[in-house]
Amino acid sequence: MKRTKKKKKSNTWKIKQHRDQFFKKSKVLGYRSRAAFKLIELNKKFRFIKKNSKLLDIGAYPGGWSQVSSKIITQGKILSLDTIKIERIKNVEFLKCDFLEKQSKEQIFKFFGEKIDVILSDMAANTTGNKSLDCIRTNQLCSDVVQFSSKYLKPNGVLVSKLFMGEDFLEVKELAKSKFKKVQFFKPEASRDESKETYLHCTILKTL
């Protein structure tokens, strides 16, 4: 019975994917994931990726956001990080690592040679089947990215990160507001209607 139920759920997911306009467009345009369209929308609204940006993509696998960034950044630098290796993307350097590890931070700084213009994170915690727990774990990743960004971004740099609308949403919001002067939220059209995800857009670091 369990196997049948699991198989039925998997088939339902596949049907949804094939009916999804963004899934179809990603295949036609060669993007590695439908998430690419989320970044396209975010950048259209906030216009934070420039041709000379120094950009860090955290949790980059499978590479959709790095692909979008590489089409815009022609005179800057792009570094993608993940614990899972991604296939090469033109004009994008990849580092297989955990961004919170000391050695990783040293490698990031060595690559850019200075502080960063844009930090992106579309990370979500591995699902456990417990939606509340998954939400908390993903929002903890977002909090980690906020803390990291406050140390590695330029004063007028930009952070864009996924988070979920859940019981700890306000905690993440307050953390972001303690580090940045401008904090906004936006849910792209490419986000599924049933998803609780939204995106945090932060800029202008507060000085101590």
Q: Per-residue DSSP letters for 49-61?
A: --TT-EEEEET-T
pLDDT given at position 7: 52
Note the pTM of the prediction, 2 decimals. Answer: 0.88
Instruction: Determine whether 181 is an active site residue.
Output: no
The alpha carbon torsion through 187, 188, 190, 191 (nearest 10 deg) reads -10
The residue ranges of the chain whose pLDDT is under 50 are 1-6, 8-9, 12-13, 15, 17-18
CATH ID of 32-205, from 3.30.470.160, 3.40.50.150, 3.40.50.2300, 3.40.1160.10: 3.40.50.150
Instruction: Name the H helices within 35-194.
Output: 36-46, 64-72, 102-112, 131-152, 169-179
pLDDT given at position 129: 85
Residues 54-76: tens digit of each pLDDT? 999 999 999 999 999 999 999 99
pLDDT given at position 10: 52
pLDDT given at position 15: 42
Q: Of residues 6, 115, 162, 173, which has the active-site annotation?
A: 162
pLDDT given at position 5: 45
pLDDT given at position 8: 47
Domains in the chain: boundaries: 1-30, 32-205
pLDDT given at position 23: 81
Q: What DSSP element (H or E) covers 81?
A: strand 77-82
pLDDT given at position 29: 80
